[in-house]
Structure 1
């Protein structure tokens, strides 16, 4: 009678079975089942479809750009649960050599994508995100900040222009007082100005509040008083620009003010935000507090100003030393 398995004699079949049972009894791992997770290029459209609604239009364009130019070429052809830390590190180091900042951004997108895959049940229980623990490239401080002397000249020019009715100059002054982005100031309406804060309905990082100090509150009160009564309605812009609410209107005035204040030609409007952050740090504010004031989504973004805290720390050390020394002499 023929054996049920023609290719394996009964004795050898029993021997193989016994050996397999012995291996399992000894604690040897059974072969892993082949991966059934989707390939990266198949998972990405699902991720975009389910998460794309949470991006702003500009953010979604940025996401798609990094996926198309960097992530797809690097990880297409791999099942998402087989992407290893070595794969990610090799790709990240090569990309960092070309564009450190871009590599940071793409690494964050990849980590978020794989994290979502785990939450959606595509990864095994013992899976660990290969992006976790990879140190991002140190952010370089891009731009400059105004010194106290430059701020004084800048303020003098702005005051003269504001007195002459230049709304764009008032907007620039507002930027120096709050650290807001230009787009946030342009879109600001009087209904967003509360007694002690601004309630930004939309910003680069979503809705947020901006605390207002006494000086800024007084500035906004004076500015509102100087406006025509019809321009003070809740839905009217705080800074109604001649020619419409366009960035180009502000930039044209910025170029004139920059020249009149004898500021460097390389200085940008966004450097007013850098100046706000830099002087906050140098005056002794913490990174956490400054991060909240700027509306950064991650405190690591504020970390680029950390080196400026050295002056504040030195001054604090000297104050403490003086106090202790006086106590010893008493």
Structure 2
């Protein structure tokens, strides 16, 4: 007679507490259970979730967010089943997620990069310029670059820790940028930068750059990856630099390669007629 919320607490006790975003994930799951009336777990069905999902979509929640909630709750049952704490089938196993149209990846041209860097040069918060340079030089996420410490500068490379994938990665940088970072005075703290997202946002607005929702700072990561591929970089090397666990994420940039699908010109049946 355990309720869905009790099952979620059981999952958290045996597995969820070890996740990077453990507390936030637990909060989301319990909120879902409450919104569905916290049914007896043994009677929770795919239909119950489908009704909940429909209500959420009507209230304005995006399909992408619903896919995320679906994945969270499905994984609860999967993990409890592995641990022998759930004997029935996963009630969400046969529920299909929504297909999400692929978003356009916005990236900056060389002229736009130069304009943005010049604007960042004029910011009172000088850290925003250096963090942007790191993102453009390594493809790092803004948070990874902003959180860098001097101890993460080694052998003309930057070591990123606490990444989204949970795996550390090391990316070489140009000598000039490395020397600039090594010379930065951090006082008694090891942290290289203050929080400077706001200064970056203001600089973007002053430049008149129009970016898709959610890509304010992420455009720097997309810009690195796009120029890397356009300049002839290897897609597998790019995967390692960006820290993507799956090549599927990296392959989104493949169409920017100079020779992308050029074989179509020469290997089609009309080419030899």
Fold-level match, TM-score > 0.5? yes
Give the whole-Å Cα distance in 2 for the aligned partners of 1:161 and 1:141: 32
> What's the CA shift for 1:218?
1.9
Matched position secondary structure for 2:134? helix
> What's the CA shift for 1:111?
1.3
In the alignment, which residue of structure 1 is the partner of 2:40? 78
> What's the CA shift for 1:289?
5.5
In the alignment, which residue of structure 2 is the partner of 1:251? 198
Alignment of 1:18-57 (within 5 A): 38-56=2-20
In the alignment, which residue of structure 1 is the partner of 2:134? 174
> What's the CA shift for 1:133?
6.5
In the alignment, which residue of structure 2 is the partner of 1:148? 110
Choose which of 68, 76, 85 in structure 2 pairs with 1:122. 85
Give the whole-Å Cα distance in 2 for the aligned partners of 1:286 and 1:111: 36
Give the whole-Å Cα distance in 2 for the aligned partners of 1:139 and 1:196: 40
Alignment of 1:225-264 (within 5 A): 226-227=183-184, 231=186, 236-237=190-191, 239=192, 241=193, 245=194, 247=195, 249-252=196-199, 255-256=202-203, 259=206, 261=207, 263-264=209-210
Matched position secondary structure for 1:293? helix
Higher helix share: 1
Scaled by the length of structure 2, the TM-score of the pair is 0.73
**Would you identify which runs of 4 or more consecutive aligned residues in structure 1 move more than 6 Å?**
284-288
Matched position secondary structure for 1:138? coil
Larger displacement relative to structure 2 (70-79 or 97-106): 70-79
User: What are the superposed Cα offsets for residues 152-196 of structure 1, whole Å, 9 maximum, x if unpaired?
Assistant: 4334555x669x994431221111112222222222122222337
Give the whole-Å Cα distance in 2 for the aligned partners of 1:86 and 1:294: 39
User: What are the superposed Cα offsets for residues 191-239 of structure 1, whole Å, 9 maximum, x if unpaired?
Assistant: 2223375333323442421432xxx2324333146435xx599x733x3
Give the direction of change, closer, same or farther, for the CA distance of 1:227–1:297 in structure 2 (3 Å limit).
same
In the alignment, which residue of structure 2 is the partner of 1:271? 219
Matched position secondary structure for 2:81? helix
Matched position secondary structure for 1:62? helix
Q: Which has the larger radius of gyration?
A: 1
Structure 2: which 5+ runs fail to align? none
Give the whole-Å Cα distance in 1 for the aligned partners of 2:149 and 2:108: 28
Give the whole-Å Cα distance in 2 for the aligned partners of 1:253 and 1:312: 29
Are the equivalent residues in 2 in contact too, given 1:40–1:79 (CA < 8 A)?
yes
Q: How many residues align structurally?
A: 268
Scaled by the length of structure 1, the TM-score of the pair is 0.62
Give the direction of change, closer, same or farther, for the CA distance of 1:320–1:205 in structure 2 (3 Å limit).
same
Are the equivalent residues in 2 in contact too, given 1:111–1:131 (CA < 8 A)?
yes
Alignment of 1:1-330 (within 5 A): 38-56=2-20, 59-74=21-36, 76-80=38-42, 82-96=43-57, 98-99=60-61, 100-124=63-87, 127-128=89-90, 130-131=92-93, 134-138=96-100, 141=103, 144-155=106-117, 166-195=126-155, 197-212=157-172, 216-224=173-181, 226-227=183-184, 231=186, 236-237=190-191, 239=192, 241=193, 245=194, 247=195, 249-252=196-199, 255-256=202-203, 259=206, 261=207, 263-264=209-210, 268-280=216-228, 290-296=238-244, 302=249, 306=252, 309-312=254-257, 315-318=259-262, 321=265
Structure 1: which 5+ runs fail to align? 1-36
Give the direction of change, closer, same or farther, for the CA distance of 1:287–1:122 in structure 2 (3 Å limit).
farther
Give the whole-Å Cα distance in 1 for the aligned partners of 2:114 and 2:218: 18
Q: CA RMSD, aligned part only? A: 4.3
Larger displacement relative to structure 2 (164-173 or 187-196): 164-173
Are the equivalent residues in 1 in contact too, given 2:117–2:129 (CA < 8 A)?
no
Give the direction of change, closer, same or farther, for the CA distance of 1:225–1:284 in structure 2 (3 Å limit).
closer
Are the equivalent residues in 2 in contact too, given 1:284–1:309 (CA < 8 A)?
no
